[in-house]
Structure 1
Amino acid sequence: MYYVNREQISVRLAVLPDVAESLLWLRANWDGSLIHGMAQERALHLAIETVTDVGSYLIDGFIMRDASSYEDIITVIAGEQVFPEALQEPLLELVKLRRPLVQDYFDWSREALHPLAAEMPAALTAFKQAVEAYLLRELGE
């Protein structure tokens, strides 16, 4: 029997629509300002943390292979078919932004809309739906 913390997974997944909406808004209204740049950084950072937190809960709860890095979290849950194969590459590209956003923030370009900002709203929505479907398929209810 697995102990999957569905409550914590649900709490985190509930953040994704707001992150996706923020990225959609930024894409539509991008002006290269410092405020938009900082908002983009935060939205991408929240997307990264949410996806990796959910992945970690799934790995722990379903006793999957331990992940050795943020990228590996995506690889492990992809291997377990938590989400469609087409999402793996965009999610890997997303988590690769963690270091630049969290550790090398002083070098981050705040003037340009990052290419992933346009791709992430659909990917985050699909990730949320896929995780919910996976939980239903594996645990029922």
Structure 2
Amino acid sequence: MVYDVDTDRIERQLRVLRDCVAVLEETKRRRGEQEGDPVLFFAASRALHLASECIIDVGTAMIDGFIMRDPGGYLDIVDILEDERVIPKEGADRIRDLVRFRDRLVRRYDELSPGELEKYWEQAEVLLSFEGWVRDYLRQNLF
């Protein structure tokens, strides 16, 4: 079967995802020395928001390009990627958690506290893994 996967778009999104990881790692490194710094808080919040958007956009491009079932929402995108073996279960669980947190980052940002971000600073590793899983899937199915 021939697929029409927008690999250029996926590549651009994965580059943005890597930038988000770099910002998360830098804000994590600095948080101890600059406790309560609003710039670090906003940088980490925005990096997490954009990372979740990148995952959603890459997932959508994969689903469209490989003609997978239609998602019913953002969490369903992660479910489909797991079902289609793009990402493993343990990674899917952590990514779902970030996609759920996206709602707070986008709609309830005025209620966020620096303490809530603590858990998500540790997401950098799964975001890098996501990039690897996507690349592996593309390599196995397109090239």
Identify which range, 88-97 or 10-19, moves more after superposition.
10-19
In the TM superposition, what are the counterparts of 1:104-119 in structure 2 within 5 Å?
Answer: 104-110=108-114, 113-118=117-122
Tell me the equivalent position of 1:21: 22
What is the rounded CA distance, in whole Å, between the counterparts of 1:100 and 1:112 in structure 2?
10
Does residue 1:63 correspond to 2:64, yes or no? Answer: no
Indicate conservation of the 8 Å contact 1:38/1:110, yes or no: no
Post-superposition shift, 1:84? 2.2
Question: How large is the Cα RMSD of the aligned pairs?
Answer: 1.3
Which SS does the other structure have where 2:96 is aligned?
helix
Q: Percent identity?
A: 35
More helix by share: 2
Post-superposition shift, 1:112? 5.4
Structure 1 unaligned spans of 5+:
none
Indicate conservation of the 8 Å contact 1:23/1:121, yes or no: yes
Which SS does the other structure have where 1:98 is aligned?
helix
Structure 2 unaligned spans of 5+:
none
Question: What are the superposed Cα offsets for residues 83-131 of structure 1, whole Å, 9 maximum, x if unpaired?
Answer: 222201110000001111111111111465430112x111111110110
Cα 1:18–1:38 change in 2 (3 A) is same
TM-score (norm. length: structure 2) = 0.92
Alignment: residue pair count = 139
In the TM superposition, what are the counterparts of 1:123-138 in structure 2 within 5 Å?
Answer: 123-138=126-141
TM-score (norm. length: structure 1) = 0.93
What is the rounded CA distance, in whole Å, between the counterparts of 2:129 and 2:99 in structure 1?
16
Following TM superposition, the consecutive aligned residue runs of length 4 or more in structure 1 with deviations greater than 6 angstroms are: none
What is the rounded CA distance, in whole Å, between the counterparts of 2:13 and 2:116 in structure 1?
28
Q: Which has the higher contact order (CA 8 A, sep 6+)?
A: 1
